[in-house]
Amino acid sequence: MILAIDQGTTGTKCLVFDGDGRVKGRAYSEFRQHFPRSGWVEHDAAEIWEVTRRVAGEALADAGIDGSELAGIGITNQRETVVAWDPRTGEPVHHALVWQDRRTAERCDELREAGREQLFRERTGLVLDPYFSGTKIEWLVRNVEAARERAVFGTIDSWLVYKLTGRHVTDYSNASRTLLFDIARLEWDEELCEILGVDPSRLPEPLPSAHVYGTTTEFGREVPVAGIAGDQQAALFGQAAHRPGDGKNTYGTGSFVLLNAGDRPPRPEEGLLATVAWGIGDRVDYALEASIFVTGAAVQWLRDGLGVIAEAAETEELARSIDGNDGVYFVPALTGLGSPYWDPYARGTIVGLSRGSGRAHLARAALEAIAYQTVDAVRAQERCAPEPLRELRADGGAVANRWLMQFQADVLGVPVVVPEITETTALGAAYLAGLAVGTWDRESLAGMWRAAARYEPEMSADERESLLADWARAVERSRGWTRPEQDRNRAEARG
């Protein structure tokens, strides 16, 4: 049995997997969110640990086992969130700064204006953005005396491993999200650390993703903690996307599209990120990542903002009720556009409305937009990937919408496959731990992944390209709609 800890942004889920990779027990609990100022988002790391420990015990009880039957523990986690703790006491010295926290936005602007972005981009594969961990650690060092004087730092995986085993470690996939890690040399970059005032000796030791990091007695006997990966990389591994050209999309409020890029760091074009996917033994695999801000949230907006639907499931029947989109397109840039555009000034736009347009057109346009944005991301990835996408493995809430999955396959031009086990982040962490302790090997993992549904493209190439061309026209009309000074003037007028 393998215990997978899936530590997310709003809660912790734990699943117990048997030797065939099937779920035998599960438990979940939320924890508090803290918003001390506008744009600041924090978590209590001590609470995260207590919730995680309790939920893990509940998952074991649900499976009808105790710790003596565990072969290993895998961890997957919300990425980029930073914890600072005192190694003498094992207690946090400040709330964790969450990946959503924007307090270092101006610092990122300063670094960009100083001409530093290309250096960070070349070494880390990332862009200068408060989303990533590096400037959060710098903020803690500058503003929290205990952090400056005696704390060590780590992402959530590092914190949980420390509480479980007493070791200060992380894996390559999480390290690659910090702005401090050279993804080619697989080590903390001294120059980048110096720019941000971070002492590398106070960062965790980076190790492969399938590795015995230590043992824990939290569950009754010594159990190896043996797998770590950031949530999106874990989902890629859990989808058995182990070869270059394999890709996955997690459909949630937004979407994360990852494409396996093989064993060499890719050089991403603007709008994409390069990241470590995982390290197993002496081999490290990389991925190209695209972040799409609004996908499922567009459907939520139809429901909560406009009242067009009462529940998300209605969109499937509405989309099927009309033969085509009749030229109606919805660009859901409600918080700007993510990959591959990265346009914070874009705004939501609906084009092509006529007197004949109705609820069905808006519902269909929202679903189509999810698929079109995925195509934009994949095509950008393919321009700099060694292999084109062979098939897209899909997970997340939207996979229940069969119309959307078929339309996604049609506009991508490759099959879309939905797995039998949809908790792919936890499954990926379990797979990595199982590899490290010898429960499984790579061949058996590939055989354990099972498809629940497969959608083959049915649309002609001419129709596909016509739809995508009109989508591109709609996107152009949404871009650059607002500017910071306009936002300030509106805010002042409201005040």
- At 106, is the secondary structure helix, strand, or coil? helix
* Interatomic CA distance for residues 81 and 104, integer angstroms: 13
> Chain centroid to CA 91: how far?
27
pLDDT band at 384 (very low <50, low <70, confident <90, very high): confident
15-29, 197-211, 340-354, 474-488: least confident range: 474-488
Among 168-172, 224-228, 268-272, 397-401, which stretch is predicted with the lowest mean pLDDT? Answer: 268-272
Q: How far apart are CA 151 and CA 84, in angstroms?
A: 6
Nearest-angstrom CA–CA distance, 42 and 98: 5
Interval 180-194 mean pLDDT = 96
- Residue boundaries of the structural domains of the chain: 2-207, 254-495
CB atoms within 10 A of CB 317: 12
- The tens digit of pLDDT for each residue in 450-473 reads 899 999 999 999 999 999 999 999
Report yes or no: 253 and 300 within 8 Å, Cβ to Cβ.
yes
Give Cβ neighbours of residue 380 (< 8 Å, ≥ 6 apart). 269, 271, 272, 290, 339, 340
For residue 494, is pLDDT > 60? no
**Are 297 and 396 a contacting pair, CB within 8 Å?**
no
Q: Using the predicted structure, report yes or no on whether residue 492 has a pLDDT greater than 60.
A: no
Residue 295 exposed, middle or buried by CB count within 10 Å (0-12, 13-18, 19+): buried
Number of neighbours of residue 127 by Cβ within 10 angstroms: 19
CB 212 within 8 A of CB 437: yes
Mean pLDDT of 37-60: 92
- Model pTM score: 0.86
Apex CA 89: angle with CA 83 and CA 93, to 5°?
Answer: 35
Q: Which of 230, 224, 223, 222 lies closest to 206 in space, CA to CA? A: 230
Q: So what's the pLDDT on residue 484? A: 56
Residue 435: name the closest of 176, 164, 234 by CA: 234
- In degrees, rounded to 5, the angle at the alpha carbon of residue 393 between the alpha carbons of residues 263 and 385 is 35
d(CA 107, CA 173): 25
pLDDT at residue 458 in the model: 96
As a whole number, the mean pLDDT across the chain is 91
Strand partners, 288: 259, 274
**CA triple 286-291-292, angle to 5 deg:** 150
Q: Return d(Cα 279, Cα 274) in angstroms, integer.
A: 15
Report which of 325, 324, 310, 313 is spatially closest to residue 401, judged by C-alpha positions.
313
- Predicted confidence (pLDDT) at residue 403 exceeds the cutoff of 80: yes
The CATH number of domain 254-495 is 3.30.70.2740: no
Q: Determine the average pLDDT of the residues in 2-9.
A: 92
Residue 38: exposure state from Cβ atoms within 10 A (0-12, 13-18, ≥19): exposed
pLDDT of residue 490 exceeding 80, the answer is: no
N-term to C-term CA, the chain: 58
Q: Cα–Cα distance between 24 and 16 in angstroms, integer?
A: 5
Report, as an integer, the average pLDDT of 89-107: 89
Query: Which of 301, 286, 311 lies closest to 254 in space, CA to CA?
Result: 301
Q: Report whether pLDDT(337) > 90.
A: no
Is residue 491 scored above 50 in pLDDT? no
Distance CA 174, CA 81 (A): 10
Radius of gyration of the chain (CA): 22
352 within 8 A of 326, measured Cβ to Cβ: yes
Q: d(Cα 270, Cα 121) in Å, to the nearest integer?
A: 10
Contact 62, 26 (CB under 8 A): yes
Average pLDDT over residues 211-217: 95
pLDDT tens figures, 270-309? 789 999 999 999 999 999 999 888 888 899 899 998 999 9
Under the banding of pLDDT at 50, 70 and 90, the label for residue 33 is confident
Instruction: Determine the Cα–Cα distance for residues 160 and 157; give it in Å rounded to an integer.
Output: 5
pLDDT average, residue stretch 424-435: 94
Q: Does the N-terminal peptide bond of residue 92 adopt cis geometry, omega within 30 degrees of 0?
A: no
Question: For 402-427, what is the mean pLDDT?
Answer: 94
Cα–Cα distance, 234 to 74 (Å, whole number): 10
Evaluate if residue 193 carries a pLDDT over 70.
Answer: yes
Q: What is the pLDDT of residue 345?
A: 83
Pairing of the two strands 247-251 and 392-396: parallel
Query: Which residues are CB-neighbours of 64 under 8 A, at least 6 positions away?
Result: 24, 25
Average pLDDT over residues 156-164: 97
Fold (CATH) for 2-207? Nucleotidyltransferase; domain 5 (3.30.420)
Half-sphere exposure of 57 (CA within 13 A, CB side): 9
Residue 65 to residue 356: CA distance in whole angstroms: 60
Kind and range of the H or E element at 215? strand 210-216
Instruction: Using the predicted structure, report yes or no on whether residue 9 has a pLDDT greater than 90.
Output: no
User: Which residue blocks in 16-125 are alpha helix, DSSP H?
Assistant: 45-63, 105-113, 117-124
